Amino acid sequence: MAFHHIAIATRDAEANHRFYTEAMGFTLVKVEAAGTPEGGWARHLFYDTGDGMIAFWDLHDDKIGDFDPAISTALGLPVWANHLAFAADDRDALERAKQRWLDTGSDVAEIDHGWCTSIYATDPNGIMVEWCLTTRVFDASDRADAEVLRVAATPPLGEVKSPTFFLADGSVVKA
């Protein structure tokens, strides 16, 4: 079953809008504006991702107080722990997404995980965003291996993949 939408609060709705329309290529399709139970007001902005939606809360309520919208670092986790991953249809789509990010000023990390290739950037909320291209079909062996790793008290560790960084200034750095 697909998601209808995921909703996340933002501190800067305009920067967020630019990132998700220009850098991600999503389309704003709906905005709901209403009062909040605490006595302020909020906008709920919905963006079509092509296969569902992502929504952001633009909160205007003094009783809610200050908050950090970064879904990982605000909790003391590394930026990569909680992130948003979107599916790329093919290698060309992944390359177009990378170029769109670079053209809009985002630095991009790319990793070939062996079963998928991913590119990563950070949105204005401090949230890691990913475009991921699955590069092979999973079979019964993959499912069996997954179950072994899921229940292992101490699973065997795979290789840490080193990213290649494509910087918005045009430079490339191998990690």
Same domain? 45 vs 123: no
pLDDT at residue 47 in the model: 98
Same domain? 41 vs 109: no
> What would the two tokens of residue 96 be?
């177009």
Q: Tell me the pLDDT tens digit for each residue of 26-63.
A: 999 999 999 999 899 999 999 999 989 999 999 999 99
Q: Tell me the pLDDT tens digit for each residue of 111-129.
A: 999 999 999 999 999 999 9
pLDDT at residue 98 in the model: 97
What's the domain range around 16?
5-60
131 inside domain: yes
Same domain? 56 vs 83: no
The separation between CA 157 and the C-alpha centre of its own chain, rounded to angstroms, equals 25
70 inside domain: no
65 inside domain: no
Does 65 have pLDDT greater than 90? no
Dihedral pair phi/psi, residue 116, rounded to 5° = -155, 160
Does 1 have pLDDT greater than 70? no
Burial of 131 (0-12, 13-18, 19+ CB in 10 A): buried
Same domain? 88 vs 167: yes
Other CB atoms within a 10 A radius of the CB of residue 9 amount to: 17
74 inside domain: no
Same domain? 85 vs 56: no
> What would the two tokens of residue 132 be?
């991921």
CATH number at residue 104: 3.10.180.10
Other CB atoms within a 10 A radius of the CB of residue 156 amount to: 7
Same domain? 151 vs 94: yes
Rounded to two decimals, the pTM is: 0.91
26 inside domain: yes
Same domain? 154 vs 87: yes
Q: How many domains does the chain have?
A: 2
66 inside domain: no
Same domain? 45 vs 110: no
pLDDT tier for residue 135 given thresholds of 50, 70 and 90: very high
Same domain? 15 vs 55: yes
Same domain? 104 vs 168: yes
* Percent of all residues in the chain with a pLDDT value above 70, rounded to a whole number: 99
Same domain? 127 vs 50: no
Same domain? 91 vs 165: yes
